[in-house]
């Protein structure tokens, strides 16, 4: 079996059989000629149902997560929507984490709930809390690790066992770690979710999402819903994600190395009251992260002395760290979760501290990043 870096470059990427092009072509096409009614040449009939460029990406994604089946969507939330409407019907119950991507919380609380699906919140970093949240009608447990924006760590193997004992499936949003740093299916998860917009794409130039599973029956239901609902990844977007994936391993190594230097610098800074990075031995999830991750990733959050105004001021003073939402690109980003990415969680169990700043540490020269942050902190 080839190693991750090799798989990332080769899975689903055989040279084009017609021309020999070493990169899969962008099949920017909606429909395919049939040789007689129903006579499909390559199995393709219409690009919502399947498109060769998307297939190349889907095979690649499945291999990255060491899963059997990958499905590519128009966004991370489109993937989540397809998954939730496949796993849950009215009367079912879902457990979501107390720290999660704000859009996941909004989708569950504002959209899925209206269809008669119950949900409750648990601190998934505590396996006992997950066990206590299970109900007879619980069909799925949703986990994000590391979580957004508090960088909490959930023990995937422990929670998988608890979910399965309770007759529920375990979903892991693996966006923050990427499959290079963490492979949830191997730890017992049933489905992996990605916003490919982030580290998989890696260059802040595409919005996309993915699901990967090894459960063949579930994969078939998901593929049916993917086509029935239609929020698929387009050919060009699929191609951009594939291009990003080829450098995922080298990018994640550099993201992790830079983030760990940034976390150390912030820990020593007098105006920083708390640094949230799973690579720090003081982080409550450090041991679990070290056990289930190859490295600790590029996301760092911290709390600033002086409350919300001080945190907002830091976000507005950096020059290299660009103020903006999103994460996982080669360039460093800074944001204020309370007013930006997690504004929709205000007043809920997922509300984030007002003095919190979140960094997506890029792959620039780390000395320049450290200087920029020191100057912004003053």
Ligand X SMILES: *Cc1c(COP(=O)(O)O)cnc(C)c1O
Q: Which two tokens stand for residue 82?
A: 């397809």
**In whole angstroms, what is the distance from residue 107 CA to residue 142 CA?**
13
Choice from 145, 154, 175, 238 touching ligand X (CB under 6 A): 175
Can you tell me which of 51, 138, 195, 226 binds ligand X, judged by CB under 6 A? 195
- Could you say which of 71, 77, 232, 373 contacts ligand X (CB under 6 A)? 77
Stretch that binds ligand X, among 75-83, 179-187, 226-234, 280-288 (CB under 6 A): 75-83
- Using CB under 6 A as the binding rule, the residues of this chain from 281 to 320 that contact ligand X are none
Bridge-based pairing of strands 169-173 and 138-144 is parallel
Q: Which is nearer to ligand X, 79 or 134 (CB)?
A: 79
Kindly tell me which residue out of 148, 238, 288, 292 binds ligand X, with binding defined by CB under 6 A.
148
Catalytic residues: 48, 101, 173, 198
Interface residue with ligand X among 12, 67, 76, 362 (CB under 6 A) is 76
CB neighbour class for 313 (10 Å; exposed up to 12, middle 13-18, buried from 19): middle
Cα 320 vs. chain centroid, distance in angstroms? Answer: 24
List of E strands, 98-154: 118-122, 138-144
Q: Give helix 307-317 / helix 366-377 axis angle, nearest 10°.
A: 140
User: How would you label 325-339 residue by residue, b for 16+ Cβ within 10 Å and e otherwise?
Assistant: eebbbeebbbbbbbe
Strand pairing category for 118-122 and 93-97: parallel
Distance CA 272, CA 280 (A): 15
Q: Which is nearer to ligand X, 142 or 302 (CB)?
A: 142
* Residue whose CB is less far from ligand X, 265 or 295: 295
Quick one: which of 65, 81, 92, 173 contacts ligand X (CB under 6 A)? 173
Residue 154 or 175 with smaller CB distance to ligand X: 175
Residue number with the shortest CB distance to ligand X? 76
Closest listed residue to residue 98, CA positions, set 80, 71, 65, 123: 123
Choosing from 95, 140, 185, 207, the residue that interacts with ligand X (CB under 6 A) is 207
In the list 51, 75, 292, 360, the residue contacting ligand X (rule: CB under 6 A) is 75
Task: In angstroms, give the least distance from the CB of 177 to ligand X.
Answer: 10
144 binds ligand X (CB under 6 A): yes
Task: Indicate the DSSP class of residue 114.
Answer: G
d(CA 171, CA 169): 7
Residue range at the interface with ligand X (CB under 6 A); choices 115-123, 191-199, 307-315, 346-354: 191-199
**Residue number with CB closer to ligand X (104 or 213):** 104
DSSP assignment of 181-204 equals H--GGGGT-SEEEEETTTTTT-SS
| Binding footprint of ligand X, residue count (CB under 6 A) | 16
Q: Which helix (H) or strand (E) holds 299?
A: strand 299-304
**Per-residue binding letters, 98-127, with ligand X (x by CB under 6 A):** ---x-xx-----------------------
What is the distance between the alpha carbons of residues 25 and 190, in angstroms, rounded to a whole number? 32
Q: Are 139 and 112 a contacting pair, CB within 8 Å?
A: no
* Structural contact between residues 3 and 248, judged by C-beta atoms closer than 8 angstroms: no
Window 223-262: contact mask with ligand X (x via CB under 6 A): ----------------------------------------
Nearer to ligand X, 96 or 207 (CB): 207
Q: Cβ 286 to ligand X, closest distance in Å?
A: 20
Q: How far apart are CA 132 and CA 156, in angstroms?
A: 17
In the complex with ligand X, the residue whose CB is nearer, 176 or 302, is 176
Interacting residue ranges for ligand X, rule: CB under 6 A:
75-77, 101, 103-104, 144, 148, 173, 175-176, 195, 197-198, 207, 209
């Amino acid at each position: 079996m080839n190693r991750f870096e090799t798989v990332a470059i080769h899975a689903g990427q055989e040279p084009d059989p017609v021309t020999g092009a070493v990169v899969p072509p962008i099949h920017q096409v909606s429909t395919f000629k049939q040789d007689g009614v129903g006579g499909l040449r390559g199995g393709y009939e219409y690009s919502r149902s399947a498109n060769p460029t998307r297939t190349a990406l889907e095979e690649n994604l499945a291999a990255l997560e060491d899963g059997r089946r990958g499905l590519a969507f128009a966004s991370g939330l489109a993937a989540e929507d397809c998954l939730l409407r496949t796993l849950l019907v009215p009367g079912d119950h879902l457990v979501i984490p107390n720290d999660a991507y704000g859009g996941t919380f909004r989708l569950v609380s504002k959209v899925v709930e209206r269809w008669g699906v119950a949900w409750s919140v648990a601190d998934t970093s505590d396996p006992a809390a997950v066990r206590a949240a299970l109900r007879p009608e619980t069909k799925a447990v949703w986990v994000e690790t590391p979580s957004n924006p508090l960088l909490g760590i959930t023990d995937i193997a422990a929670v998988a066992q608890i979910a399965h004992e309770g007759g529920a499936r375990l979903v892991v949003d693996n966006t923050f770690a990427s499959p290079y740093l963490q492979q949830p299916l191997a730890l017992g998860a049933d489905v992996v979710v990605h916003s490919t917009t982030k580290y998989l794409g890696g260059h802040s130039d595409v919005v996309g999402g993915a699901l990967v599973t090894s459960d063949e029956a579930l994969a078939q239901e998901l593929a049916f819903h993917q086509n029935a609902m239609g929020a698929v990844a387009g050919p060009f977007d699929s191609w951009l994600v594939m291009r990003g994936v080829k450098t995922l391993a080298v990018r994640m190594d550099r993201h992790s190395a830079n983030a760990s230097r940034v976390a150390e610098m912030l820990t020593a800074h007098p105006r920083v009251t708390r640094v949230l990075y799973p690579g720090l031995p003081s982080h409550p999830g450090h041991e679990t992260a070290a056990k289930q991750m190859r490295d600790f990733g590029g996301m760092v959050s911290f709390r600033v002395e002086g409350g919300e105004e001080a945190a907002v001021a830091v976000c507005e003073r950096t020059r290299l760290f660009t103020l903006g939402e999103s994460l996982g690109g080669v360039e460093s980003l800074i944001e204020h979760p309370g007013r930006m990415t997690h504004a929709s969680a205000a007043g809920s169990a997922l509300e984030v501290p007002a003095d919190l700043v979140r960094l997506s540490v890029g792959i620039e020269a780390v000395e320049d990043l450290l200087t920029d942050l020191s100057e912004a902190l003053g």
